Amino acid sequence: MGPRVARCAILASAALFLYSCTFFEASVVPPGFAIVYGVSDYYPASPPISGDSYDLTYPDDDAIDMAALLVEQGFDVILRTNEDATMTQLELDFAEIGSRIEANGGSDTRFVFYFAGHGYGDGMDSVYGSSFPDAWDSYFDSESGASEPTGSGAFTEQLLLHDAMPINSISVQSVDDVLAVLDESLSDDELSDLLGTLPSSMQMVVIDACHSGGFRGSGTAADTIPESYEGWDEGVSVLDTLDAITLYLDYGSGLLDVGASDVGERQAIVISASGEQEFLYEGPVYGNGIFTHYLLQTPAEADRNFDGLVTANEAYAYARDQIVRVENEFFFGEGKFVPRVSGGAVDFVLFEAR
Amino acid sequence: MKRLFIVLILCAGTQLASADVSLLLRSRQAVLFAQDTRFDLGVQLGSEIGLGIERRWSFANEVDAGFGGGAAVGMVLQSSGLNGVVYRGIATRSIWLQGWATGSAGIGGSLGVTLNLASYELTSLLFFFPEVIVGPTFATRITDRASIMWAIPLSYQFRSDLDVAFSAGLTGRLAVDFRSPAAYF
């Protein structure tokens, strides 16, 4: 009786294993659509701060290179750079890509939004001291919506499109100036709204901009890396554990008032080049931003499980590892940065491996 | 922390040597069925190994029962990339409590609860979920002081990142008894 039961148990387990193997069959990658924006040249009338140029060097190249990769991967891409990359145009492009998706696959499609350019966060002044114009600080000090709920990060982040004025004391002198900047910026919540207009069920957001980690919404997972990474790896702390339990208890019940904003876990996978309270750098070596430089390598380098597919998670992990191991050797303290990814149980195929 | 836990288990085992207390080593292999309802069901393979301690009782030489707890580490592999969607792999650290009972033929059942602290593979993201495990068991004594229990655990994971998550598999568990010398006479 005994051995027979044991044999039955082993056979049952083996049957389950074989059943699971039937799912490991050749994969069909769904159609892909993308909106790719890169802004190097900003607001034409932008006066620099004491010789400091507000323009960037590589974001337009980043966008062009990323669009080329996506086209090579079979994506239908809308590419805008510099003066074409405005907030008005972005809204039109989301409507256009939505129509294309609807006509070519509907929900069973992948969508990628990529942005390279300036990124800012409301109220960053409280983190970095008085580096922002008084009008900017006082506006967000008085806005109850400036700070986000616990678990959503501290601030509302903005991606600055071409027509956004520089956030400096020369350009931003009044509340009207602040509002003008915001009109030409894409906030985390606005991006969430735009993504919600698209029928694609597999949405990915890739942002190569300062403070872009703030676009990740609160959800079910706590990040054990602090929003301002300074190079140390603390592992899992008691506070991290409590954060994870708090998010679990709050999810669906709202009992602990963790709140929800930004791009939600079940809305899109967000890969950001930096944490919410980190800056990024342009290096002259690669001809691209550092994060995008490594992201462009992922079809050839990031297929960790050799299944012929590079998921968003694998692409993120490759870029992160390269930046931590190679690039952060050249930065110190708060100068270090590390890419982030949003939580959630599902991951999407970003590229086919080369 | 892990060393401390192991030392505590050994100390507890020594202190309770006169009682029917067992040290446990268990391993679970399972297939996880996961679903976010926006997408098809995903299938993932999982594995777990753990240590524990339990108190055992015997009733009229007919029924054996036990209740104990311990800690485990495990991993679940990511699903395949079918139709563009992959269910992420996870690594787990867990604590568990479990009770079981078997009849004279060694056949019985078990019920347990596991609290998991998990992280998504390749990320620094941490999340929590409880799990209930139930299933038939078969126990057999291999020496005077050691026994093996096989189980077919069916578990349901209460995960906030998934709409459905349940698993089935096979658990093998080695129990080493601590008894007073008098118990052998």
**Would you call A148 exposed, middle or buried from its count of C-beta atoms within 10 A (0-12, 13-18, 19+)?**
buried
Query: Residue A145's pLDDT is what?
Result: 45
Query: Residue B87's pLDDT is what?
Result: 96
Structure-token pair, residue B93: 């650290």
pLDDT confidence tier of residue A263, bands split at 50, 70 and 90? confident
Highest average pLDDT, of A243-257, A272-286, B152-166, comes from: B152-166
DSSP string, B10-56: HHHHHHTTTSSEEEEEEEEEEEEEEE-TTS--EEEEEEEEEEEEEEE
Q: pLDDT tens, B81-116?
A: 778 999 999 999 999 999 999 998 899 999 999 999
Which residues of B are less than 8 Å from A314 in CB distance?
122
- In eight-state DSSP terms, residue B148 is E
Say how many residues make up chain B. Answer: 185
Q: pLDDT tens, A118-142?
A: 998 765 555 565 567 777 777 776 6
pLDDT tops 70 at residue A187:
yes
Q: Do B121 and A251 touch (CB under 8 A)?
A: no
Structure-token pair, residue A135: 């009008």
Q: Please tell me whether the interface predicted TM-score (ipTM) of this complex is above 0.95.
A: no
Domains and CATH numbers, chain B: 27-177 (2.40.160)
Query: Residue B62's pLDDT is what?
Result: 84
pLDDT tops 90 at residue B175:
yes
Q: Tell me the residues of chain B between 94 and 123 that have a Cβ less than 8 Å away from chain A.
A: 105-107, 117, 119-123
Mean pLDDT score across all residues of chain B: 88
- In eight-state DSSP terms, residue A109 is S
**Which long-range contacts does B129-132 make (Cβ < 8 Å, 24+ apart)?**
B129/A248, B129/B157, B129/B158, B129/B159, B129/B160, B130/B157, B130/B158, B131/B94, B131/B155, B131/B156, B131/B157, B131/B158, B132/B156, B132/B158
Give chain B's end-to-end CA distance (angstroms, integer): 39
Query: Residue A264's pLDDT is what?
Result: 86
Closest CB to B106: pick one of A2, A221, A224: A2
pLDDT tops 50 at residue B185:
no
Which helix (H) or strand (E) segment is A16 a member of? helix A2-21
DSSP string, B60-116: TTTEEEEEEEEEEEEEE-----GGGEEEPPEEEEEEEEEEEEE-TTSEEEEEEEEEE
Q: Tell me the residues of chain B between 15 and 54 that have a Cβ less than 8 Å away from chain A.
A: 29-31, 34, 36, 38-39, 42-45
Structure-token pair, residue B132: 């209930």
Which residues of B are less than 8 Å from A247 in CB distance?
127-128, 160
Q: pLDDT tens, A45-57?
A: 555 554 456 889 9
Instruction: Please give the share of chain A, as a percent, with pLDDT higher than 70.
Output: 79
Q: Do B140 and A23 touch (CB under 8 A)?
A: no
Nearest chain B Cα to A22, which residue? B43
Question: Crossing angle for the helix pair A188-195 and A87-103, nearest 10 degrees?
Answer: 30
Q: Do B105 and A314 touch (CB under 8 A)?
A: no
Q: Do A313 and B121 touch (CB under 8 A)?
A: yes
Query: Residue A171's pLDDT is what?
Result: 78
Domain boundaries, chain A: 29-232+260-352
Which residues of A are less than 8 Å from B123 in CB distance?
313, 316-317, 341, 343
Q: pLDDT tens, A191-229?
A: 999 999 999 999 999 999 988 888 888 788 988 888 777
Classify domain A29-232+260-352 at the CATH topology level.
Rossmann fold (3.40.50)
* Mutation target vs A (from B123, B140, B152; most A CBs, 10 A cutoff): B123
Q: pLDDT tens, A16-46?
A: 555 554 444 455 899 999 999 999 998 765 5
pLDDT tops 70 at residue A143:
no
Please check whether residue B142 touches A, CB under 8 A: no
Closest CB to B84: pick one of A29, A236, A313: A29
Per mean pLDDT, which range of A227-236, B85-94, B119-128 is the poorest? A227-236
Query: Residue B181's pLDDT is what?
Result: 46
Q: Taking the CB of residue A141, how many other CB atoms lie within 10 A of it?
A: 13
Rounded mean pLDDT, A68-76: 98
pLDDT confidence tier of residue A234, bands split at 50, 70 and 90? low
pLDDT tops 60 at residue A163:
yes
* Mutation target vs A (from B40, B43, B83, B85; most A CBs, 10 A cutoff): B85
Please check whether residue A265 touches B, CB under 8 A: yes
Query: Residue A330's pLDDT is what?
Result: 78
Per mean pLDDT, which range of A245-254, B6-15, B35-44 is the poorest? B6-15
- Answer yes or no: are the C-beta atoms of A104 and A31 closer than 8 Å: yes
Query: Residue A310's pLDDT is what?
Result: 96
Query: Residue B182's pLDDT is what?
Result: 46
- Answer yes or no: are the C-beta atoms of A255 and A190 closer than 8 Å: no
Q: Do B125 and A223 touch (CB under 8 A)?
A: yes
Nearest chain A Cα to B121, which residue? A313
Please check whether residue B125 touches A, CB under 8 A: yes
Instruction: Please give the share of chain A, as a percent, with pLDDT higher than 90.
Output: 46
Please check whether residue A307 touches B, CB under 8 A: yes
Query: Residue A173's pLDDT is what?
Result: 84
Q: Do A110 and B83 touch (CB under 8 A)?
A: no
> What is the distance between the alpha carbons of residues A49 and A196, in angstroms, rounded to a whole number?
38
Query: Residue A115's pLDDT is what?
Result: 98
Calculate the alpha carbon distances from A119 to A44, A93, A187, A348, B93 in Å: 18, 20, 10, 25, 37
Which residues of A are less than 8 Å from B81 in CB distance?
27, 29, 307, 309, 311, 349
Please check whether residue A352 touches B, CB under 8 A: no
| A92 vs B64: which has the higher pLDDT | A92
Query: Residue A219's pLDDT is what?
Result: 80
Q: Which residues pair with A155 in a beta bridge?
A: A147
Q: Do B84 and A223 touch (CB under 8 A)?
A: no
Q: Do B117 and A236 touch (CB under 8 A)?
A: yes
Q: Do A223 and B82 touch (CB under 8 A)?
A: no
pLDDT confidence tier of residue B184, bands split at 50, 70 and 90? very low
- Answer yes or no: are the C-beta atoms of A134 and A231 closer than 8 Å: no
Please check whether residue B82 touches A, CB under 8 A: yes
Q: pLDDT tens, A172-183?
A: 888 888 888 889
Q: Do B124 and A225 touch (CB under 8 A)?
A: yes
**Which of A56, A102, A58 lies closest to A76 in space, CA to CA?**
A102
